[in-house]
Chain A
Amino acid sequence: MPVADLVAENITKQFESAGQALAILQGVSLELSAGQNLVILGPSGAGKSTLLQILGGLDPPTSGTVQLRGVNPFELAGRELARFRNANIGFIFQDHHLLPQLSALENVLIPVLAQQRVQRTSVERAEQLLAAVGLSQRMNHRPGQLSGGERQRVAVARALIMQPVLVLADEPTGSLDTASAQAVGQILCDLSEKEPAILVCVTHSEALADQFHRRVSLANGRIVEANQSSI
């Protein structure tokens, strides 16, 4: 049996609130390979975003392990973890978190700058990505001059600029209208397939979820439903 690119085993996460332990995730396991995509559904407070943050190396689990291509990111320290995330993981948030002072193209190039000088090849790739998300005419516009859907497409391009193994999207269409949400979802799935990368997306939107090959539902920190037996 081939080893999956992303392996999450028995992930738990607890918080303390008002002196009581609050279990957010209770033994979640996942395995995904490059080119696969997955949508995580569930009610508010089910632990979807927390799971995404753990998979992205942003928040350590209380117990359990995460391995991306054999590397447990939580075993890495500061600078190595930053480098690992930069090289392997792309993020898309509900709030696009673009830097308002930079143009769309510059925002896409930001992850490149994190580890190296911006070369011409990186700029060309950023232009290609922006063209791929339909923004070839808006590359030099600032976030304030773009619509919500366009901003999120810039965020998608930014997430893919480093050709990551894993793309994590947290409610990427949460603040978009239906048409924009549809378009962004499609772009996300197409690009992740083309790159290829593992795409994990958290959403409340069934419409977006329908565009993914595989889905799981979380409730009370556990996977309660999966549409594929392999999960």
Chain B
Amino acid sequence: MNFFHIAIRSASFFWRMNLTIALGVAAAVAVLVGALLVGDSMRGSLRDITLDRLGQIDDLLTSDHFFREALATELLSEDSLGKEFRVAIPAIVLPATTVEYRSDGQLRRSVDVTLYAVPDAIWQLQSSSVVSLQAEHAIVNQQLADELSLDAATGSATARPKITIRVTARQQLSSDSALGKKEGLVQTLPEIDVVQVIPNQGMGRFGLRPTQMVPHNVFVSLSWLQQQLGPELFKGKADFQQANLIFLQRRADIAPTTAIDAAWPTRLRPTLDDLGLRLTHVARRFQPEATAEPQLAYEYFSLSSDGLVFGEAATRCIQRCFPDTRPIFTYLANKMQLVRDGHAIGDAIPFSMISGLNWDEKLAFISASSGRPMNPLAQSEIVLNEWSANDLDAIVGDSIRLTYFEPEAAGGEGIEQSTDLVLVDIAKLTRPTGPYNRRGGRWIEAKFDQRPTAANDPDFTPLVPGLTDAESIESWSLPFDTPGIRSVDDEYWKFYRTTPKAFVSLPTAQRLWNSRFGQVTSFRFEANAAEEEIRRQITSSLQPDCATFGLNLVPIRANGLRAAVGATPFDLLFLALSMFVMVSALILVTLLIRLAIQQRANQLGILTAVGFGFPKVTKIWLAEMFWVCSAGAVLGAGLGLGYAQLMLWGLRTWWVGAIRTPFIRLHISPTSLVLGTAIGFAIGMLTVIWTLWLVRRNSAIRLLAGHIEPAKNLKSGTSPWSRIIGWVLVIAAVASLVAAMGQGGEAQAGLFFGGGFCTLAALLVFVRAWLRRPTDKVTKDLRLTSLALLNARRNPLRSALTIGLVAVASFLIAAISAFRIVPDDSGTGGFDFIATSNQPLFANLNSSEGRSSLLLEPDRFPVEANVVSFRLKSGDDASCTNPFQAAQPRVIGVPQSAIALLGSPTALPFSWSGMLSPHSSNPWSLLDGSKLANDSEPIPAIIDKNTAWYSLKIFQLGTTFSVEYDSGERVTFRLVGLLNNTILQGSILVSESDFTRAFPSEVGYRYFLIQAPPDQRQAVLSQLENDLADQGFDGRDAREFLAELLAVQNTYLSTFQALGALGLLLGTFGLSAVQLRNVLERRRELALLRAIGFHESKLVRLVFLESFFLLVAGLVVGLIAAVVAVLPHFVFGNATIPWLPLAVVFLVILAMGWLTVRWASRSVLRAPLLAALREN
């Protein structure tokens, strides 16, 4: 015989009691396992979505410009990246596309569609079969078809649905620049046949961003789109065989999470063209005599960018690789005019190229007067060429006024600036013998019979399609009018074209025309080698930095899988939400184990009496409970699967608001099963140890007499400490409530909740004290109810635990309502609508000019309507509605005017949770923090608290964090303010100046907050949506949007309440089980009462009253505390308490309690009288 033997025998002998304990443990394990499985399921489902979204695509080669389609083929060669990738498919991806479909006279429109122009080879990356894409054919995914109500039954060619696709052509010249095109950016592809609707799987679900929402995708033929949009998209490119994305599939032996060799850019070997660069060999010659060989005047290589201006990073990179290269910055001046005595004199020269450069003996302009090379220029000095000086009649020493547009257009409007510079010399200019001629679509250079000077160089100006290749100045394609063009200007254009009319030093040019786009338009390289060699040198030097030039390898599968870990740890969340069910189960286990110990107290007593020390007694019990808890844990693991299924079903139905779409499916990981079971088992065993620990000091004598409470515990009812603690808790409750009056939002809710919780604790302390109070007062009026109350007080700890269980559950269920949030003006900032546009808007919709340029009927638009425009960097939705981990959150740029408006005393303020300078009169001005700082300073950012805490995991104001975007930007932010439950959730808000600095390629305004007169709200939105349909303007009700965001939190509260109710129900069943055992213990006593004349029904009532008292006491205590927590909140009007559902929950619980307690009472008293009397 040994402990093991005794344990097995005891476990089987007391199987009924042990079964109830095992069931309690099973409930706790089920909750744990279930919660962990919910976490697994969320991660697994997100992973499924990711894998489904990506099909067999592992990586993407992305670019912010177009590159040669052939790069995809070259990439697969053995000496390139062929060892890593087995499939490389070029494509053109155009996000922010609008698709329209007209059916039955009704136009349906879907904005935010992504257009993929793909070769047929793309379909090999997915399993389902797809038809070959021909010209003017399109395939749409089911999501888009549903949105457009497009019938997938595409029978005959004539019956095919036809859609119109509107895409935005990315401009070489940023639309935000003064010279950039702002209108006519949308290209329309009309009457496209939809030949197939593919399911929302594989490419049908493909998207660049991790989200559970199915994207809207449309696919067209790559070659067809290249031909259709080529003339617009590929200006300056050698051909139309261009792409901006390559889909990559890795070889089977390269895991998706393995980092690709960091030297991939060198191995990829992109050409300068692929990097968006252009190398031009400039060799200017002259022919003094018609019969002689042309002579070389000067020769060099010019490196320019497709984007006209080199960005800062690219400039640094080139200068690092080629320190001797000469940067040149050419800008267009609107006017050049002679200034004397502060007054402009004579005609102005319109629209002149001005080049900024530093010259030396290698590149020196020849002074027209001295015939010698000029000295380098200082700041505020200018050199005119001979033609300009003559035209202006200017002499050295005069002031020349340059008038020009600021490089960055504000709100779509070019702002003119002017500066006066001192004319220090006049550059000699050689007149060509004839004008430039166009032949075969190309410009043939003008001929010189005399040596052209260094100033005779139109290649100071980089190629600007629509401008530098124009026939005349009047035919320039510019976003502004070109008034004042004279015949002499046209003549200059014919003979000199883009030859600068003036020169300044490079620092002067960069001071005047610096912008976020850059400050160098070309780099000049010495012609000290053959063109191929120079090209090779430059290419090989720049290739390693190809990311700087916009070419990036994005490990989209690895990123997606990382994001699929999820923003919210759902296992912990559901563990927390299910905590009460688990606590109920554990309290039940405690009660049941105490009951078991009590039932077998004499065994403990005899063991103690015969010399078993407490550790040995514990060992015997633990050995027994090991088997009991093991059985419970195994059962619980099985139940946990059911519990997880129930939770997932809830998330797909009742609580779908928390995850927006019912995508979640059960995923079972053995780790969670084992971990949940093991932890649940351990908790069960710890509960046993704790319960045994409580009886450790009891004497063998009391144990032999069947008592497990030490005598001293029963000696007197209340210690002074319990009274003191009770009153301290009351004071704390009052203090919390008083403090709450001065607070708002969640702080107030938290304090009310705290006050309620203190009330609950105080009430429980008083109830426990009452239960323990000596019952030496003789009751003169002994009635059944008083007898029932006396009986309920027989075991104070058990009764207190029971009341506490019910009370805490009731309190939590009711009081948690205080945290429900209703959408209000503090969340919308008083705005009626929130809107985005696919295409950027450049005009200000709050100005009459802006409205006139953008709206078809500007007069119909209410003057009082307020449309606040923001810049938008697309990125991951970091709001709590996106369960994926947001790695590249979207960013909103807040213009200065919006900062002033949002913080003005007359505006309805957004609700704030915290800010770095709490006393600031305008908290939005915190965004201006980096104004005086240098570029390396982190950008001040305001974020909604939910986004900061739950998605970005940033908890403290002042925290700095960095985000690296696929588009190449690495931005460091500093959290300066936290908004509180606003429509601005999901984004990082920064000032417009910081935005444009961080994201120079993002142009225009694409995010809008709209206020409209109350009676014209819908009309305003409709007008904006209709008139800006081409731009994909899409608005929605701000309150509805906020409600959708808040639904996540409110749904979790509902989940908590539902699970709390489940816990309470479990507690009620437990209460019945405990009372059942309680009554079983007293069968002899009850039998005696029957023997002396109590009718059975009376005894049932007696037992029922005892149990029901505990249930009602728990409910009442919990509800009183809940009322303390909720009522002030309700009175202040900022809580929505679902009174009716709560009342129903409590009535159901009361009814269930009533039924189970009644059943328990009846079943016990069915025992035969004599048997009960005889029973030991």
Binding site for B on A (CB under 8 A): 16, 18, 53, 56, 58-59, 78-79, 82-87, 90-91, 93, 95, 97-102, 106, 109-111, 113-115, 117-118, 158, 162
Contacts and interface: CB of A to CB of B under 8 A. Distances in A.
B607 interface: yes
Interface in B589-619: 602-603, 605-616
Q: Is the interface of B mostly helix, strand, loop or mixed?
A: helix
Given A82-B612, A114-B616, A97 B602 contact: yes
A111 B610 contact: yes
A115 B611 contact: yes
Given A58-B699, A95-B602, A101 B10 contact: yes
A85 B9 contact: no
A16 B776 CA distance: 15
Contacts of B776: 18
A204 B1024 CA distance: 104
Nearest to A85: B611
A82 B613 contact: yes
Given A106-B1, A113-B2, A86 B611 contact: yes
B610 A58 contact: no
29 contacts: A56-B609, A58-B700, A58-B701, A59-B699, A59-B701, A78-B613, A78-B614, A79-B615, A82-B608, A83-B613, A84-B611, A85-B609, A85-B611, A86-B610, A86-B611, A90-B610, A97-B606, A97-B704, A98-B606, A101-B9, A101-B12, A102-B9, A111-B610, A111-B611, A113-B6, A114-B612, A115-B611, A118-B2, A158-B610
Given A53-B701, A97-B704, A109-B1, A114 B606 contact: no
Given A83-B613, A158-B610, 19 more contacts: A56-B609, A58-B700, A58-B701, A82-B612, A82-B616, A85-B610, A86-B612, A91-B610, A97-B704, A98-B606, A99-B606, A101-B6, A101-B9, A101-B12, A106-B5, A110-B606, A113-B6, A114-B612, A118-B2
Interface string B5-44: 1100110111000000000000000000000000000000
Interface string B395-421: 000000000000000000000000000
A69 B1074 CA distance: 47
B950 interface: no
Contacts of B6: 99, 101-102, 106, 113
Nearest to A79: B613
A83 B610 CA distance: 9
Contacts of A90: 610
A117 B3 CA distance: 9
Nearest to A155: B606
B602 A100 contact: no
Nearest to A59: B701
B697 to A, nearest CB: 10
Interface in B687-737: 699-701, 704, 715
A93 B13 CA distance: 23
Given A109-B1, A113-B1, A113-B3, A97 B605 contact: yes
Contacts of B700: 58
A97 B604 CA distance: 10
Nearest to A143: B1176
Contacts of A86: 610-612
Contacts of A115: 611
B1176 to A, nearest CB: 8
Nearest to B611: A86
Contacts of B704: 93, 95, 97
B13 A82 contact: no
Contacts of B612: 82, 86, 114
Nearest to B602: A97
Nearest to A98: B606
A93 B606 CA distance: 9
Contacts of B3: 113
Which of A59, A82, A87 counts the most chain B CB atoms within 10 A? A82
Contacts of A111: 610-611
Report the contact-size class of chain B (Cβ under 8 Å from the partner). 20 to 34
B424 to A, nearest CB: 104
B694 to A, nearest CB: 17
B552 to A, nearest CB: 71
A117 B701 contact: no
Closest 6 pairs between A and B when the two form their complex, measured CB to CB = A86-B611, A101-B13, A82-B613, A97-B606, A111-B610, A114-B611
A87 B610 CA distance: 9
Nearest to B716: A19
A207 B897 CA distance: 109
A97 B699 CA distance: 15
A195 to B, nearest CB: 16
A106 B613 CA distance: 19
Given A58-B700, A97-B704, A114 B2 contact: no
A86 B613 CA distance: 10
Contacts of B610: 85-86, 90-91, 110-111, 114, 158, 162
B240 to A, nearest CB: 89
B599 to A, nearest CB: 11
A83 B611 contact: yes
Contacts of B608: 82
A131 to B, nearest CB: 18
A21 to B, nearest CB: 14
A177 B203 CA distance: 91
Contacts of B607: 110, 114
B609 A91 contact: yes
Nearest to B7: A101
Most central of A59, A86, A98, A110 by chain B CB within 10 Å: A110
A84 B615 CA distance: 16
Of the listed residues A84, A95, A118, the one surrounded by the most CB atoms of chain B closer than 10 A to its CB is A95
A118 to B, nearest CB: 5
A99 B1 contact: no
Nearest to B11: A101
A106 to B, nearest CB: 6
Nearest to A18: B776
A88 to B, nearest CB: 9
Contacts of A84: 611
Contacts of B14: 101
Contacts of B603: 97, 99
Nearest to B13: A101
Contacts of A106: 1, 5-6, 9
Contacts of A95: 602, 704
Contacts of A99: 6, 10, 603, 606
A56 B1 CA distance: 26
Contacts of B615: 79
Contacts of A97: 602-603, 605-606, 704
B611 A82 contact: yes
Interface in B749-780: 776
Contacts of A56: 609
Contacts of A78: 613-614
A162 to B, nearest CB: 8
A127 B147 CA distance: 87
A231 B364 CA distance: 135
Nearest to B608: A82
A18 B717 CA distance: 12
Contacts of B12: 101
Interface string B607-650: 11111111110000000000000000000000000000000000
A132 to B, nearest CB: 19
A86 to B, nearest CB: 2
B614 A118 contact: no
B21 to A, nearest CB: 15
A100 B611 CA distance: 19
Contact of A87 (B10, B611, B613, B715): B611
A16 B1139 CA distance: 53
A224 B1133 CA distance: 80
Contacts of A59: 699, 701
B707 to A, nearest CB: 14
B622 to A, nearest CB: 15
Contacts of A58: 609, 699-701
